[in-house]
Amino acid sequence: MSDLTQLGVAAIRDGVRDGAFSAREIAEAFIAQVEKGRALNAFVIETPEHALAAADAADAARAAGALKPLSGVPLGIKDLFATKGYQTTAGSHMLEGFKPVYESTVSGNLFAAGAGMLGKLNMDEFAMGSSNETSFFGNVLSPWRRNDGGNAALTPGGSSGGSASAVAARLAPGVTGTDTGGSIRQPAAFTGISGIKPTYGRCSRFGMVAFASSLDQAGPMAHDVRDCAIMLEAMAGFDPKDSTSLDLPVPNWEANLSSDIRGKRIGIPREYRIDGVPAEIDQVWEQGIAWMRDAGAEIVEVSLPHTRYALPTYYIIAPAEASSNLARYDGVRYGQRVAPENGNLTDMYEATRAAGFGAEVKRRIMIGTYVLSAGFYDAYFNQAQKVRALIARDFEQAFDKVDLLLTPTAPSAAFGLGEKTADPIAMYLNDVFAGPASLAGLPAMAVPAGLDSQGLPLGLQLIGRALDEQGVLNAALAFEERAGFTARPEAWW
Amino acid sequence: MSNYRIQGATGEWEVVIGLEVHAQVTSAAKLFSGASTEFGAEPNSQVSLVDAAMPGMLPVLNQECVRQAVRTGMALEAQINPWSRFDRKNYFYADLPQGYQISQLYHPIVGEGEIEILLDEKDESSAKKVGIERIHLEQDAGKLMHDQHPSFSYVDLNRSGVALMEIVSKPDMRSPEEAGAYIRKLRSILRYVGSCDGNMEQGSMRADVNVSVRKPGAPFGTRTETKNVNSVRFIMAAIEYEASRQVDVLESGGTVVQETRLFDPDKVETRSLRSKEEAHDYRYFPDPDLLPVELTDAFLEECRASLPELPDAKRRRYETVLGLPAYNASVLTAEVDTARWFEELLGHLGEAHAVRASNWVISDLFGALNRLGRSLADSPVTAKQAAELLALIADGTLSGTLAKQVFELMLETGQDPGVIVEERGLKQTSDTGAIEKVIADVLAANQDKVSEYRGGKDKLFGFFVGQTMKAMAGKGNPAVVNELLKKALG
């Protein structure tokens, strides 16, 4: 094999099993690629020793006939997951240097399945952002560039920007992401890869630094649907340490993959046709509809009447929960501490949080504090909770008529760094298509569809019924087969 | 009913009191983590990653704490809410690692109930009902220590996350005595149920005291809340101080400010901590890390079935079934440990002897323990030994006098009464032959007195009894001695 880093999760797993190459060779190839790709700033830290140890264990396991589901597969882990003994920052100065003494359930599950870790992936600070520009450790660059001959640096999307960039640039065959309002799906769409946010509760949140607890879900990002299915199977599962995790067996998603979706009814929500969205988004959506029809699905127009309230609802609930979740970063027990001379406890809090948090995090803490405060709680938070229930009901009613929904993932292709940093509302609009499924806790997957006129990837989103990851994966597979997306960013880094 | 009134310059004032009692739930582990709750451990030795609020840590509800809150609610005849929920109460403090306390504001686990208090143990007509507003579960905070370093404060998180029940009364009390009786009765019930050990000196139970004053019959006045008062005596003192302070304020033309106050036990006064304007905005909202608590019928039934006989029911049973005087019943049921001891005694002795046994426990045993500075828990005499002693009295083996001797020896040695009687020959004798022989000797040695007695000096009978008993080292059965003496003296 000339370039092992072109391989995905399934190919590596199978190749190690079949003896086409050793896990050690795979790990070394990706470690070299990670080093070569430092210009992308996808990793906060590199952990080659972890990947190599797992690879050696995989090679030994193969010799002993005891291979595990992910033996030999080196992965990138988003820096939101606590990794025992390895710095875990959530992209924040607040946690710079913080090494947990515990392992998140999701990363622990992956390691138990035989995977190794290439490093911790850069991300928007505390997962708050859609461009990876809020990271304390510098923005991540997308490996993609426009075909206009310019060298404008593009965003890989966010908050799982390091994750997306690492897969697209083939620094890792698969990575973990987390999705609160689109943080897996939007960066996957921006970088031409696949990513699935499972049903809320499928993956344990234990050890995942909390942004908005009622929305946060872990999920895989990889080159294709099969790789995502393999990884999700390893990541998911009931965890008694997370009260909101679902006490259900993990289905055999990979084994049950099938692109035969004949007779499935796929809904097209009319409210997702939004003014101001580029025509190319609509065109790729129409193309996707045609592929689904070609696969034998029946296309049905449906209505999700409360869609227009989803974004404001999301931007009340998520900051409200965040304002409380981030209160623990106070300089008392771990992380940064700034203690002004002769200052009291309040002075320490203020100085620590002023220095430890970036502007976007502070903005959201303030928004969240405001919407929960006496006199505003009913008008904002309580009202948002009610609208959230209506949005979930919209989906339920739509799923009485159809099996899946097909929508755009993001309202544009990847944009340039700095283009939207001055206007938070424009930035928040990135979540317009991804947010509703998060509010309803539904499984949703981004799959690449094609390139726009500037040569940048565009993706579509499949949303399924709660717990129907299989339906989502199967439809995504049918989509993938028809899209035949093979475009790669040209290596400039 | 209390007629407690404060005499002010402008007339009489009535005091209105409500109590919020924080009771530590008896449970091996904390409310949302597996860390131990044992009292007195080294600082920060009982802190889980959850209690320290490490990034990504999540609370998991301890079902035992739910069970204890439900059982407590049932013991207070309160509404049990089959659906309740946890909320976050947000504020910053160094003893609060999460930056919020998990509590139940909107949907508490227990609703309205009531407690009957007796202001006079001997008088059922002094009973009064105090309403319970609600009980909710919440986490305790850690502890700050300001005296360990010249410029830093230290934090001990052992208490952080320990389960508390906040038991909120209605503003139904009208005197410090009523508040004292309420706290004692509540503590008694909690100890019966086993949901809180009630040890106020260890901080297992403490109260926020809400006090206002008004002219009798007038609407409620503005109240103040005195935080974290940790003994019955201090609660009563805080009420007394706070009520007269408020009367002074009002009578000098001022207004009572709604505020949080602190009680200073050394100076026996309350001091302002913060006013309503400075109060925190706690930004309560449902904790998204936890599911609502839904109680099944089977769970509720199990809770109800696990409840012991409670103090009021026990007191009534002691009076009506065992025939105890009201005072005895009240004293023996006030604390669950006392009732347990008494019932163990009756188990050995038989309920037919309950009245005699209750008198003995209250006068002889409590008197002795008081003298020795001991409690029932470390009594040198076990309930089984006490039952044996009382049985020896009942079957005539021991006279009252001998019994007191034997009891003293039991207190000293911890030996069984039977052993003491046997080894020291303290058995009472009713052997008429032996007694007649002693009487004959006594009469022979006191011929002159015999003549005087026979000459009409009846009072000398007691002298002969005393001489006979003395000669028998107190072991003669007094009734038999009396009878035989009368015959001998003819």
Tens-digit pLDDT profile for residues A286-302: 999 999 999 999 999 99
Least Cα distance to A339 among A328, A359, A353 occurs for A353
Q: Which of B58, B98, B285 sits opposite A242 (nearest CB)?
A: B58
Q: How far is B299 from chain A (nearest CA, A)?
A: 19
Strand partners, B226: B209, B261
Nearest Cα of chain B lies from the Cα of A370 at a distance, in angstroms, of 9
Asked if A170 and A72 count as a contact pair (C-beta separation under 8 A), the reply is no
* Residue A290 to chain B, least CA–CA distance (Å): 40
Residue B236 banded pLDDT, cuts 50, 70, 90: very high
**pLDDT exceeds cutoff 80 at B44:** yes
Backbone phi, psi, residue B274, to 5°: -160, 150
Say what angle helices A469-483 and A279-294 make with each other, to 10 degrees.
Answer: 100
- At B396 the pLDDT is 82
CB B163 within 8 A of CB B31: yes
Q: For residue B85, which residues of chain A lie inside 8 Å, CB to CB?
A: none
Q: What is the pLDDT of residues B66-82, one digit of tens each?
A: 999 999 999 999 999 99
Residue A183 known to be catalytic: yes
Q: List, as ranges, residues 318-347 from A with C-beta within 8 Å of B.
A: 320-321, 323-324, 326-328, 330, 332-334, 345-346
Residues of B in contact with A98 (CB under 8 A): 55
Give me the catalytic one of A130, A142, A165, A183: A183
SS3 of residue A487 by DSSP: coil
- Pairwise CA distance, residues A132 & A143, whole Å: 14
Q: How far apart are the C-alpha atoms of B458 and B442, rounded to whole Å?
A: 17
- Counting Cβ atoms within 10 Å, is residue A356 exposed (0-12), middle (13-18) or buried (19+)? buried
Nearest CA-CA distance, residue A39 and chain B, Å: 29
Question: What local confidence, expressed as pLDDT, does residue B68 receive?
Answer: 98
Q: Tell me the sheet residues that pair with A300.
A: A267
Q: Is A36 a catalytic residue?
A: no
Determine whether the interchain pair A207/B285 forms a contact, defined as Cβ–Cβ distance below 8 Å: no
Contact residues, chain A, for B93 at CB < 8 Å: 345
DSSP classification of residue B265: T
A78 in active site: yes
The rounded distance, in Å, linking the Cα atoms of A466 and A489 is 34
Structure tokens that stand for A471 in this block: 């339906």
Residues B443-460: tens digit of each pLDDT: 989 989 998 998 888 888
Q: Which residues of B touch A102 (CB under 8 A)?
A: 49, 54
User: Which of A98, A101, A208, A332 is most worth mutating to test chain B (most B CB atoms within 10 A of its CB)?
Assistant: A332
What's the CA gap between A413 and A408, in Å, rounded?
11
Q: What is the mean pLDDT of residues B361-381?
A: 94
Tens of pLDDT, residue by residue, chain A (493 residues): 459 999 999 999 999 999 999 999 999 999 999 999 999 999 999 999 999 999 999 999 999 999 999 999 999 999 999 999 999 999 999 999 999 999 999 999 999 999 999 999 999 999 999 999 999 999 999 999 999 988 899 999 999 999 999 999 999 999 999 999 999 999 999 999 999 999 999 999 999 999 999 999 999 999 999 999 999 999 999 999 999 999 999 999 999 999 999 999 999 999 999 988 999 999 999 999 999 999 999 999 999 999 999 999 999 999 999 999 999 999 999 999 999 999 999 999 999 999 999 999 999 999 999 999 999 999 999 999 999 999 999 999 999 999 999 999 999 999 999 999 888 888 899 899 999 999 999 999 999 999 999 999 999 999 999 999 999 999 999 999 999 999 999 999 9
Cα–Cα distances (Å) from B37 to A237, A240, B30, B45, B230, in that order, read 31, 21, 6, 10, 19
Question: Measured between CA atoms, how close is A125 to chain B, in angstroms?
Answer: 14
Helical axes B311-320 vs B336-349, angle rounded to 10°: 40
**DSSP state, residue A392:** H
Tens-digit pLDDT profile for residues A360-418: 999 999 999 999 999 999 999 999 999 999 999 999 999 999 999 999 999 999 999 99
Distances in whole angstroms, Cα of residue B167 to Cα of each of B20, B74, B110, B137, B190: 6, 13, 9, 9, 11
Q: Which residue does chain A place closest to B290, by CA atoms?
A: A243
pLDDT tens readout for residues B253-262: 999 999 999 9
Distances (CA, A) of B53 to A325, B32, B120, B209: 10, 11, 48, 31
Instruction: List the single residue in B56, B88, B94 with the smallest CB-CB distance to A345.
Output: B94
pLDDT value at residue A1: 44
Q: Is A263 helix (H, G, I), strand (E, B) or coil?
A: coil
Which is nearest to A184 in space by CA: A235, A147, A145?
A235
Are A100 and B283 an interchain contact pair (Cβ–Cβ within 8 Å)?
Answer: no
Q: What is the mean pLDDT of chain A?
A: 97
Alpha helices in A39-197 (DSSP H): 48-63, 105-112, 161-168, 185-191
Owner of token pair 């283009």: A419
Residue of A78, A120, A197, A264 marked catalytic: A78
Tell me whether residues B283 and A324 touch, CB distance under 8 A: yes
- pLDDT at B1 > cutoff 60: no
Specify the 3-state DSSP secondary structure of A254. Answer: coil
Beta bridge partner(s), residue B211: B17, B224
Q: Is B151 left (phi over 0), alpha (psi -120 to 50) or beta?
A: alpha
Average pLDDT, chain B: 93
**Domain A4-263+440-483, architecture per CATH:** Alpha-Beta Complex (3.90)
Contact B58 A241 (CB under 8 A): yes
Q: Kindly list the residues from chain B whose CB atom is less than 8 angstroms away from the CB atom of residue A323.
A: 90, 283
**In order of start, what are the domains of chain B with their CATH numbers?**
6-302 (no CATH), 309-424 (no CATH), 432-489 (1.10.10.410)
CA-to-CA distance for A186 and A281, rounded, in angstroms? 13
**Upstream peptide bond of A412 is cis (omega within 30 degrees of 0):** no
What is the C-alpha separation between B371 and B374, in angstroms, rounded?
8
pLDDT at residue B121 greater than cutoff 80? no
pLDDT at res. A2: 58
- List CB contacts (< 8 A) between B274 and chain A: none
- Is residue A250 within 8 Å of A230, Cβ to Cβ? no
Of A213, A327, A377, the CB nearest to B99: A327
Interface of B with A (CB under 8 A): 49, 52-61, 88, 90, 92-94, 97-100, 153, 155, 281, 283-285, 288-291
In this structure, the dihedral spanned by the alpha carbons of residues A227, A232, A235 and A236, taken in order and rounded to 10 degrees, is -170
Q: Per the CB < 8 Å rule, is B99 touching A328?
A: yes
State the average pLDDT over residues B386-407. Answer: 90
Residue among A104, A107, A130, A159 flagged as catalytic: A159
The ipTM of this complex is: 0.96
Confidence of residue B471 (pLDDT cuts 50, 70, 90): confident
Q: Confirm if B53 and B33 have CB atoms less than 8 A apart.
A: no
Contact criterion met (CB < 8 Å) for B90 and A242: no
pLDDT digits (tens, 9 = 90+) for B319-364: 999 999 999 999 999 999 999 999 999 999 999 999 999 999 999 9
A77/B contact by beta carbon, under 8 A: no
- Which of B51, B153, B283 is the best substitution to test chain A (most A C-beta atoms within 10 A)? B283
Per-residue model confidence as pLDDT tens digits over B252-311: 999 999 999 999 999 999 999 877 777 789 999 999 999 999 999 999 999 999 999 999
B218 contacts: CB under 8 Å, gap ≥ 6: none
Q: Which of A88, A326, A372 sits opposite B283 (nearest CB)?
A: A372
Q: Which chain A residue lies closest to B91 (C-alpha atoms)?
A: A327
Locate the chain A residue with the closest alpha carbon to B94.
A332
List chain A domain ranges: 4-263+440-483
H-run or E-run covering A176: strand A174-179
* A95/B55 touch (CB, cutoff 8 Å), yes or no: yes
Contacts of B242 (CB under 8 A, 6+ apart): B209, B211, B224, B226, B261, B270
